[in-house]
Structure 1
Amino acid sequence: MKHKEHSQFTRWLYRIGLVILLLISLGLIFNQQIKNYLVSSYQPKITAKSAADNDKKQANFNFKNAKSLNFSTVANARMNSKKILPVGQILVPKSGIHLPIAKGVANTTLALAAGTMRSDQKMGHGNYPLAGHHMVRKDILFSPLYFKTRVGDTIYTTDMKQVYTFKVYRRAFIAATRVDVVNQTKANIITLVTCDATGARRLMIRGRLTHTAKLADTPVKVQKGFEARFNNK
């Protein structure tokens, strides 16, 4: 009788072990897919008022605390997405980029949006730097910058009142220590920064401001681009 009970207990433990191993295996297999889904599900509604209100709030600009985009970081960001402060949108049609722009570079912000890198930056005035993550999938966050964006491409940003049009004039890989690219400039430019394929360096995209107009006065195609779902899909 005792031998039979021991045998049943052993089989029970064996089955539990198999279930645990199966769950771990599935987690490892679908880790990237789940992470992509969590990022893509962030579709905030941004208005001129909410963008202006968020721009007045305090944010974290300590880039040294930024973490790599692992599953834990993304899951935590999605659960705390209300802490993100959207201040506008960025649209790069040729690369398929359409993302919310949020204030600061907190891990929660960078996991789901492009983040502003200085507390005093303003669209269309001097240097407007944005940071974003480069992921395995080529159409999420700033990944398209690495795979698709080239010199001559057009970049649009909006604070939901005005649309600022930039033309890319420089695409370069720089050292991760080059924090000077965030500094203010006399020229009205945009600076986009993301990791390279190895994570050791940074890809920097720079564009010159070529045009400014009210959102309602921009071409319909651009307006529809801003109205569409964000490219994390």
Structure 2
Amino acid sequence: MSQKRRKSKKNKRKNLLINILAGFLILLSLALIFNSKIRDIFMILNTNKYQVSQVTKENIEKNQETEGNFDFNSVKALSSEAVLSAQWNSQQLPVIGGIAIPELEMNLPIFKGLDNVNLFYGAGTMKANQVMGEGNYSLASHRIFTGNNADKKLFSPLARAEKGMKIYLTDKEKVYTYEIDEVKIVTPDRVDLIEDREGINEITLVTCEDANAAERIIVKGNWIETKSYSDTPSNILDAFNKPYKQFYE
């Protein structure tokens, strides 16, 4: 092979590497510029994927058998980097039901436990062996402070919760109705608020009040009634079928 041909081949490889590197830098720059938008797209796509309307009753029953993580200290702050990195892992998250608050346009999957990925896409149960409609059914999720329609994602709508609003839970066998009777802001050490109280069936929803997670929003509701899924009015069931479309707006 002549020296001229060797030099030409070497230049082609060099140019290829330069083009690959340039392409990578462009993609990285775009990701840094639009990372909150990209994060939002992945969050919404996965929230829709795991909504209770997309999961069979049989899978919900199976997921109830998973152990779950209930270590509050293992929960990390939501970040674009964490959401994006989670997309590399092929996984099937343990959906055990759904929560809907129609007046807040909220419809989220309920996952067993507080694994970080669970809280990227829905609400996580805060105690092992919780049963819908019994005791103090406690759920936690993130509040979003940046990005497109941030106030509509995950538990962000709880900042607009008011006394008298209805909260619906379902495991696709039954639908459990609660009515909000208290909304307050507390310090993170108030774990007593998720403990069971004798003779009282209630729900407690927990999210951050501020971006620094210095305080928590607590939404409490009293259990009103339980109906079979098949006997539940269609307007309530429709609340569990409402997909998120914020990234189209």
TM bucket, shorter chain: 0.7 to 0.9
Q: Which residue of structure 2 aligns with residue 178 of structure 1?
A: 190
Q: CA deviation at 1:232?
A: 7.0
Out of 229, 233, 236, which is 1:215 matched to?
229
Q: Which residue of structure 1 aligns with residue 220 of structure 2?
A: 206
Asked whether 1:166 is paired with 2:213, we answer: no
Deviations 1:134-188 (A, max 9, x none): 0131111111111x21111110000111100000000001101111122122210
Q: Which residue of structure 1 aligns with residue 7 of structure 2?
A: none
Kept in 2: contact 1:61–1:119 (CA 8 A):
yes
> RMSD of the alignment, in Å?
2.4
What is the 5 A alignment of 1:41-56?
A: 41-42=45-46, 43-44=49-50, 45-56=54-65
SS at match of 1:115: strand
Q: Which residue of structure 2 aligns with residue 4 of structure 1?
A: none
Q: CA deviation at 1:81?
A: 6.2
Q: CA deviation at 1:29?
A: 2.1
In the alignment, the residues of structure 1 paired with residue 24 and residue 45 of structure 2 have an alpha-carbon distance, to the nearest angstrom, of 28
Q: CA deviation at 1:15?
A: 9.9
Asked whether 1:145 is paired with 2:158, we answer: yes
SS at match of 1:227: coil
Q: What count of residue pairs does the alignment treat as equivalent?
A: 222
Distance change (3 Å), C-alpha of 1:15 and 1:158: closer
In the alignment, the residues of structure 1 paired with residue 192 and residue 99 of structure 2 have an alpha-carbon distance, to the nearest angstrom, of 22
Distance change (3 Å), C-alpha of 1:16 and 1:173: same
In the alignment, the residues of structure 2 paired with residue 78 and residue 230 of structure 1 have an alpha-carbon distance, to the nearest angstrom, of 19
Aligned identity (percent) is: 34
Deviations 1:80-119 (A, max 9, x none): 4624200000000000110000000011111111000001
TM (norm. structure 1) is: 0.87
Distance change (3 Å), C-alpha of 1:25 and 1:94: same
In the alignment, the residues of structure 1 paired with residue 240 and residue 58 of structure 2 have an alpha-carbon distance, to the nearest angstrom, of 16
> Structure 1 stretch 192-201 or stretch 164-173: which is displaced more?
192-201
Q: Which residue of structure 1 aligns with residue 239 of structure 2?
A: 225
Q: Which runs of 5+ in 1 are unaligned?
A: 1-11
Kept in 1: contact 2:101–2:239 (CA 8 A):
no
Deviating beyond 3 angstroms after TM superposition, the runs of 4 or more aligned structure 1 residues are 14-25, 76-81, 230-233
Distance change (3 Å), C-alpha of 1:81 and 1:120: farther
Deviations 1:186-213 (A, max 9, x none): 2100000000123211100000001110
Asked whether 1:123 is paired with 2:135, we answer: no
In the alignment, the residues of structure 2 paired with residue 232 and residue 89 of structure 1 have an alpha-carbon distance, to the nearest angstrom, of 19
Kept in 2: contact 1:121–1:128 (CA 8 A):
yes
Q: Which residue of structure 2 aligns with residue 28 of structure 1?
A: 32
SS at match of 1:99: strand
Kept in 2: contact 1:39–1:78 (CA 8 A):
no
Out of 46, 55, 70, which is 2:79 matched to?
70
Kept in 2: contact 1:165–1:209 (CA 8 A):
yes
Out of 143, 164, 176, which is 1:134 matched to?
143
In the alignment, the residues of structure 1 paired with residue 178 and residue 26 of structure 2 have an alpha-carbon distance, to the nearest angstrom, of 50
Distance change (3 Å), C-alpha of 1:24 and 1:48: closer
Q: Which residue of structure 1 aligns with residue 122 of structure 2?
A: 113
Partner amino acid for 2:231? Answer: D
Kept in 2: contact 1:77–1:109 (CA 8 A):
no
